[in-house]
Every structure is written in structure tokens, then in C-alpha cells.
Amino acid sequence: MSTSETRGSLGRFPTTRLRRNRQHEWLRDMVAETRVSPHDLIWPLFVHDKAEREPIVAMPGVDRLPIEEAVKAAADAKSLGIPAIALFPVVASKQKTVDGQHALDPENLICRTIEAVRAETGDDVGIICDVALDPYTTHGHDGLLKNGRIVNDETVTVLQQQAVVLAQAGCHIVAPSDMMDGRVRAIRTALDENRQEEVSILSYAAKYASAFYGPFRDALGSHAALGTAKSLGVADKKTYQMDPANTDEAIREATFDLDEGADLIMVKPAMTCLDIIYRVKQTFGVPTLAYQVSGEYAMVEAAAANGWIDGESVGMEHLLSIKRAGADFILTYLACRAAENLQK
């Protein structure tokens, strides 16, 4: 039977009226092909070494949190059915160096936060932490900067150590977001050699050199640091993050990372990469995550603040489209609000 005949057998107007299944809310809900639940969401949290919460101007509704507030947020995530949080440290300027050595300090902010959260929630809430040097370097890059270049292999050696430090502090999932070649195998080897076999690796396999990361970099203080890097000849991250023009390259990156031992794959950003999310999920059938990044969030919040859109509805539509594209889990700053709305 031809494709056209198969399609014809599904019905024709007026015998079949597709609007019938749209007439009532309960019916629309019953036939919905894609659903978003709190279990699909991961909540990114910014943590700083100060006593009070600090609003992030470019991300309305998102704050830099003291450690004790991050612990409370983790408990809130548990009560809302959100399975995991992703922690991002706001490192003090005095602790940043050219080589980002503070990333390897087991007493640093992120390690103390991991320990505090684990003491409160145990294994009930997953903890995900980036493996990358950008919060810790004076130049804001994810790797070591030498002679005007981000050096790959030397960076990977440092990332191995960072991953082990995070795992030993109690992180459940380390997430190399640096986009250095070969780092997943190196990190897996280092974790296993240090008896951290049960720690998972979430690889940012398809991380694009996107213009949507600005508010995140402001939140961490790495945006200003990249200004310093400009004078050193590396003003952006295009030599290691992916070109937004490419799709096949994303599949190659994911293939390499899975072969090297990645347990989960990340696509970042989400809204402009729905096709990549779809291809990754269809090609590999592995747990696939997508990051609704700071610029995506900020656009919705800004438009909503001006009364141009219904922010809550648009935010939920974004999440639905990311899930529909194939993402199993979504990192989103809307996680808490969305979970609360989904439970109403």
C-alpha cells in the first residue's frame, strides 16, 4: 500500500473532523502526545559566598544564593518532584587566577555547597556540577589560556582533577561543559581510578558558541573576565564551542563522547537547537538533556515585564517544545515555577 493510500485510510473530511478532539479541555489533555512534568525538570542554582540573596539583574526572579539558601532550594526541589539541581559557583575575584587552580580546592564554594546539600537531602535530590574552569579563571575561558590559545590537552589534565574533587565532595553527576577534545574518556578514567565508578558523566556534547549565554556570564562574573581575554587575543569561545551552523558535527561530538564513557548527553542552548535535540535522541536513544539557557529565560521575562506576552504560558510552551523535540530532561530557571504550576 502506498503512503498516500495509508494516509487516506486515516479518514477524510467530513466523516473525519480533527477538531472533534479539541473541543474540551479534558479531551485535549487525554489525546496530548507530549507532556511536561516536574520530573522532567532540572533546576540550575547560582551559589555565592555571601550572607544574603543577591538578585541577578539580567535574570529577573533568579538570585545568587548563600549556601544555606541553596540547601533550602534543594529541599524545595524534592517536595516539588524535581529530581535534580545543577549548581554553579559565583567565585570571588580574589580567588580567580590565570590557571583556575581554585577549582581544585576541596574546600572551595562548590564543594562546600555539595556537602551541605547532601547532608540535608542525601541521595533524594541529584546534584549536577559543571566541569570547566570559566568560573575560576581571570580570563573567563573554560580552559587554560597560553600564548593566545586555549590549550586542549593541558586543560584536560586539570579537568580530570576537578571532576574528582567534585565527585569526592558528593556530586552525583559531573558535567564537562568545556568542549575540550578527549575530556570525557580522561574524566571517566580519573573517576574510576579514584573509586568514583558510580558518579555519572553528563557531557555537554553539543554546546554551541551561542549569543544566548550573556546573562549567565553576568551572573558568574565571567563576562567581564572575557573582556580581559580580548586583550590576550581570545575574546570569544569559538575555537572550542561549536558553530551554530553545524548539525552533523553535533552527532560526531555525541558519538565521540558516548564512546568515551558519557552516560547522558546535553544539547545547549535549547530553543535554537530543537533539530539537534531531535537528531541526538533519534540517533542514539540515550538520556538526552537540553539547557533552556539564560538568554532564552531573560527574553521571556523581559517581554512579559513589558506586557507583550503571557510569560508563564510562553515559558511552558518553550518547555513543551523542548520535550517534544526529544529531550528527556530540561535544565531551566523556570523549574520551580513550572513545577508549582504543573501541580495546580
Active site residue ranges: 207, 268
Please give the radius of gyration of the chain, using alpha carbons only, rounded to the nearest integer: 21
Burial letters for 133-165: b for 16+ Cβ neighbours within 10 Å, e otherwise?
A: bbbbbbbbbbbbbeeeebebeebbebbbbbbbb
The verdict on whether omega for the bond into residue 14 sits within 30 degrees of 0, i.e. cis, is yes
Residue 204: CA count within 13 A, CB half-sphere: 24
Instruction: Please report, for residues 46, 72, 87, 232, 255, the alpha-carbon distance to residue 65 in angstroms, rounded to integers and kept in the order given.
Output: 6, 10, 10, 32, 36
Please state the φ and ψ torsions of residue 313, each to the nearest 5 degrees.
-70, -45
Q: Report which of 104, 102, 138 is spatially closest to residue 221, judged by C-alpha positions.
A: 138
Alpha-helical (H) ranges within 96-247 are 109-121, 152-169, 183-193, 214-220, 222-231
